[in-house]
Structure 1
Amino acid sequence: MSPYQLVYGKSCHLHVEIEHKAIWVLKKLNLDWGAASSQRLNDLNELDEFLLKAYESSAIYKEKMKKYHDEKIEKREFVAGDLVLLFNSRLHLFPGKLKSKWTGPFRVTQVFPHGAIELENKEGTRFKVNGQRIKVYLGKYEIVQEAIEAYYLDEV
């Protein structure tokens, strides 16, 4: 049997043959097989310990980053009847540079566990949103008529 086998059309080494070559080298150099095998086991155990320490340190790092991230999140508590603004996160191809990304105001009608909140608009339509997408509205709840002004170049 050759030292190379074809696996999926590619040649590869078999571990048995590599170990056989290692034994042949040990015999040729008159080295102690027992000492070499115990050294090999010690190296493998040391490698396992290194991998375990790396895994533990990555777990500790993830815990610290989660704690840091959770501290930076604002705790928002809403009660039914609060006025809020909703963040419009839709992708716009040509958004207005100075256009506000907050729409509303909306009235909170119900607060669900785990951050879901039901809102109601001025027409009475109700919908649910994630509590992280809204913020408190400090203005008055009144119907605002939008005034659109157009200036034409030939008038100026």
Structure 2
Amino acid sequence: MGGWVVKSSMAYGAEAVAPAKIGEQSWRVKEYTSSGNDQALQISLDLVDELRDEASTRAERYRACMNKAYNDRVKPRTFQVGDLVLRKSDILKSVGKLDPKWEGPYKVIEIVKMGAYRLQHSDGKILPRPWNMANLKKFYA
């Protein structure tokens, strides 16, 4: 509940009130004074930087947790020079229902940069551009 109060006070400038409590007068409404309200507003303005820092810290912690959860499920894949791979066939042309989804095998002849590979066809012809590893899978012969 405390996090929701911080969020609502940062977004709307006041704490949230449950709909069931709108009709009844709360302690805050009964004890309202103009000078006390001005003083409370000044205090909340002084604390707004701390609220921002707290919200930023919470968001960063959430992002780190989400990154960790995602990265734990990712299986790292790399290919070495000389590996045989298959290439997705729907990248360059549309593939019909009964057409093969993968082409190849191709031989990895160069690692261009992390995740990009230059391929060579089995007849020795080098493909004109590098291919991303998302479009390749290992071929087991």
Q: TM-score range by the shorter chain?
A: 0.5 to 0.7
For 2:19, the equivalent position in structure 1 comes to none
User: C-alpha root-mean-square deviation of aligned residues, in Å?
Assistant: 2.7
- Classify the secondary structure of the residue corresponding to 2:114: helix
Matches within 5 A, 1:26-37: 31-32=34-35, 35-37=36-38
- The aligned amino acid for 2:78 is E
- The aligned amino acid for 1:49 is E
- The aligned amino acid for 1:39 is A
CA contact (8 A) 2:86 2:105 kept: yes
- The aligned amino acid for 1:136 is K
CA 1:59/1:98 → structure 2, altered by over 3 Å: closer, same or farther? farther
For 1:45, the equivalent position in structure 2 comes to 46
CA 1:56/1:108 → structure 2, altered by over 3 Å: closer, same or farther? same
- Classify the secondary structure of the residue corresponding to 1:112: strand
TM-score calculated relative to the size of structure 2: 0.60
- The answer as to 2:107 corresponding to 1:107 is yes
Q: Give the whole-Å Cα distance in 2 for the aligned partners of 1:59 and 1:89.
A: 39
Higher helix share: 2
TM-score calculated relative to the size of structure 1: 0.55
Aligned residues: 107
Residue 111 (structure 1) shift: 1.7
Sequence identity of aligned pairs in percent? Answer: 26
- The aligned amino acid for 1:121 is H
CA contact (8 A) 2:108 2:118 kept: yes
For 2:73, the equivalent position in structure 1 comes to 72
Q: Give the whole-Å Cα distance in 2 for the aligned partners of 1:80 and 1:132.
A: 17
- Highest relative contact order (Cα 8 Å, sep 6+), 1 or 2? 2
Residue 31 (structure 1) shift: 4.7
For 1:136, the equivalent position in structure 2 comes to 138
Q: Give the whole-Å Cα distance in 1 for the aligned partners of 2:91 and 2:40.
A: 61
Residue 46 (structure 1) shift: 4.0
Residue 72 (structure 1) shift: 2.0
- The aligned amino acid for 1:130 is N
Q: Mind listing any 5+ residue stretches in structure 2 that lack a counterpart?
A: 1-32
- Classify the secondary structure of the residue corresponding to 1:104: strand
CA 1:72/1:88 → structure 2, altered by over 3 Å: closer, same or farther? farther
- The answer as to 2:117 corresponding to 1:117 is yes
- The aligned amino acid for 1:110 is E
Q: Give the whole-Å Cα distance in 1 for the aligned partners of 2:61 and 2:80.
A: 37
Residue 137 (structure 1) shift: 0.4
Q: Mind listing any 5+ residue stretches in structure 1 that lack a counterpart?
A: 1-29, 140-156
